[in-house]
């Protein structure tokens, strides 16, 4: 009777909200999510003059909307990580460990136990999410942006719906997947599935619009997006599956054969109920194979990340060290970070532009954009006229209130270093970020730590596997 009366509290303890230490841990996690969201907002502000301002203006605006919009996505990602780490405590994997078997045999109601576990999980998620949301709003107040309350409840509700959906999906998977590692992978897959659904069903078009998010009816307007009815249907189906499946699984006692590794000379067999044939259960062999695969993937991922970060750092150093007359040339191309908007829209501010290296025999046509040197300074302008071995050049985009044609100049052929061949806006934004303090830490400090402590990191993954 004691266990029956306190089952919900027991689930709260499992979800780290009942005892004082667990509650403090929850609060720290919530504040951490708010701080991460706030820090990311400032990082994005350093990338204002990049491609991000065009493709994701919702995270670049000087408003409460941007900080909260970033928070609901950070909360979704970090809660998914939390679910993966504490999978054994939060979901139905304990049924397979026979934690419910004796209770069901003693006529405890499995349906009430199922809803107790589900309620405890949602209480835990609600507490973290709400505290983090409020903390993010509190931090944004210090930026003295115009406070518009209308879109805050809508953003809050949108984020909580996503967290509820991934919680129920993870609960459902835990009833069917015996291996905890595979179930954790499915939890990560569920997060990706939710993001894909939101994009495919037009939910992000509503969320990213600050005007439409001021009316909560737009979130439930099925003409604009079918994400919410699809999410509701998934929630209903998963809840029904959880009730039916959990009741059935809890009735049986599961032998813990997965907890042991059989010796190499021992073979375990089982009888197939349908055919009556014996089938081998190579648990030990399968476990060793999974460990080898995980170790290989972990090692390869570390190597790829470290090498990529080091190569990228070398690339940035070379570009920053370029001087007129001694530009970096990579496979016949000169990379150049464009620091003005004088050639917009052909080349935008902070784009990484590529110029084909040319010699004295290369042909330059009217209308082409060239990179040339004048008074030991590099310029990028368009050829508007050619006279013998000289070119008349001009910029494409004159600033407001300036006189068109004021920048026309004549360039000798020998001063031309390259002809424009293309650009990469995302790589330009990445280089801009890499030149910030946080970018330096990420691309220099993190690879160094991984390089020197890779054995310890691999050891952690080995122990977990």
Domain limits of the chain? 2-254, 333-434
pLDDT score recorded for residue 54: 87
Identify the weakest region by mean pLDDT among 25-39, 97-111, 174-188, 403-417: 97-111
pLDDT digits (tens, 9 = 90+) for 244-276: 877 776 665 555 544 445 555 566 666 655 555
**Residue with more model confidence, 96 or 160:** 160
- The owner of tokens 């090692």 is 299
pLDDT score recorded for residue 131: 96
Percent of the chain whose pLDDT exceeds 70 = 77
Count of other CB atoms within 10 angstroms of residue 86: 14
At residue 394, does pLDDT exceed 90?
yes
The average confidence (pLDDT) of the chain is: 81
**374: its two tokens:** 């004048």
pLDDT score recorded for residue 274: 52
As a CATH number, domain 333-434 is: 2.10.109.10
Report the pLDDT averaged over residues 404-416.
Answer: 91
Report for 112-116, 186-190, 318-322: range of highest mean pLDDT: 186-190
Query: Which pLDDT band, with edges at 50, 70 and 90, does 120 fall under?
Result: confident
Burial 241-266 (b: 16+ CB within 10 A, else e): ebeebbbebbeeeeeeeeeeeeeeee
At residue 128, does pLDDT exceed 70?
yes
Q: How far is the C-alpha of 33 from the C-alpha of 328, rounded, in Å?
A: 41
**Residue with more model confidence, 394 or 281:** 394
At residue 121, does pLDDT exceed 70?
yes
Q: How far is the C-alpha of 370 from the C-alpha of 361, rounded, in Å?
A: 15
Alpha helices in 63-150 (DSSP H): 64-85, 87-90, 93-96, 101-105, 110-141
pLDDT score recorded for residue 15: 45
pLDDT score recorded for residue 18: 42
At residue 50, does pLDDT exceed 60?
yes
Q: How far is the C-alpha of 413 from the C-alpha of 419, rounded, in Å?
A: 12
At residue 1, does pLDDT exceed 50?
no
Report the pLDDT averaged over residues 73-91.
Answer: 86
pLDDT score recorded for residue 324: 63
At residue 321, does pLDDT exceed 80?
no
pLDDT digits (tens, 9 = 90+) for 430-448: 888 888 888 877 777 777 7
Query: Which pLDDT band, with edges at 50, 70 and 90, does 191 fall under?
Result: very high
Q: How far is the C-alpha of 71 from the C-alpha of 164, rounded, in Å?
A: 16
Identify the weakest region by mean pLDDT among 161-165, 260-264, 387-391: 260-264
Q: How far is the C-alpha of 390 from the C-alpha of 200, rounded, in Å?
A: 53
Report the pLDDT averaged over residues 225-240.
Answer: 92
């Amino acid at each position: 009777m004691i266990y029956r009366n306190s089952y919900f509290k027991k689930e709260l303890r499992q979800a780290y909200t009942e005892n004082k230490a667990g509650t403090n841990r929850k609060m720290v996690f919530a504040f951490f999510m708010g701080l991460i969201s706030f820090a990311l907002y400032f990082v994005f502000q350093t990338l204002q003059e990049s491609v991000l301002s065009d493709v994701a203006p919702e995270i670049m605006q000087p408003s409460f909307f941007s900080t909260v919009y970033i928070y609901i996505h950070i909360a979704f990602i970090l809660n998914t990580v939390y679910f993966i780490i504490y999978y054994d405590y939060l979901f139905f994997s304990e049924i397979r460990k026979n934690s419910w078997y004796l209770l069901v045999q003693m006529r405890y109601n499995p349906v009430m136990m199922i809803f107790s576990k589900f309620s405890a999980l949602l209480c835990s998620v609600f507490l973290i999410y709400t505290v983090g949301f409020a903390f993010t709003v509190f931090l944004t107040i210090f930026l003295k942006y115009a406070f518009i309350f209308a879109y805050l409840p809508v953003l809050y509700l949108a984020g909580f719906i996503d967290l509820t959906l991934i919680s129920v999906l993870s609960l459902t998977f835990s009833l069917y997947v015996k291996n905890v590692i595979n179930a954790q992978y499915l939890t990560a897959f569920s997060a990706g599935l939710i993001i894909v659904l939101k994009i495919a069903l037009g939910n992000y078009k509503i969320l990213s619009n600050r005007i439409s998010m001021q009316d909560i009816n737009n979130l439930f307007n099925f003409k604009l997006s079918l994400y919410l009815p699809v999410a509701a249907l998934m929630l209903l189906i998963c809840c029904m599956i959880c009730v039916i499946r959990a009741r059935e699984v809890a009735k049986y006692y599961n032998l813990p054969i997965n907890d042991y590794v059989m010796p190499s000379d021992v073979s375990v067999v089982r009888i197939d109920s349908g055919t009556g044939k014996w089938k081998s259960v190579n648990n030990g062999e399968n476990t060793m194979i999974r460990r080898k695969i995980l170790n290989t993937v972990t090692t390869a991922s570390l190597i790829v990340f470290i090498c990529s970060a080091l190569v990228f750092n070398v690339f940035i150093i070379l570009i920053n060290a370029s001087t007129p007359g001694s530009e970096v040339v990579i496979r016949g191309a000169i990379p150049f970070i464009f620091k003005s908007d004088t050639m917009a829209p052909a080349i935008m501010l902070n784009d990484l532009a590529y110029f084909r290296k040319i010699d004295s025999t290369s042909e330059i046509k009217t209308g082409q954009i060239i990179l040339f040197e004048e008074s030991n300074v590099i310029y990028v302008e368009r050829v508007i006229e050619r006279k013998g071995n000289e070119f008349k050049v001009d910029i494409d985009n004159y600033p407001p209130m300036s006189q068109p044609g004021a920048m026309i100049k004549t360039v000798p052929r020998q001063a031309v270093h390259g002809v424009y061949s293309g650009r990469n806006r995302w790589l330009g934004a990445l280089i801009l970020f890499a030149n910030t303090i946080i970018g330096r830490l990420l691309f220099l400090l993190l690879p160094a730590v991984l390089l020197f402590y890779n054995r310890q990191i691999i050891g952690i993954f080995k122990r977990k596997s």
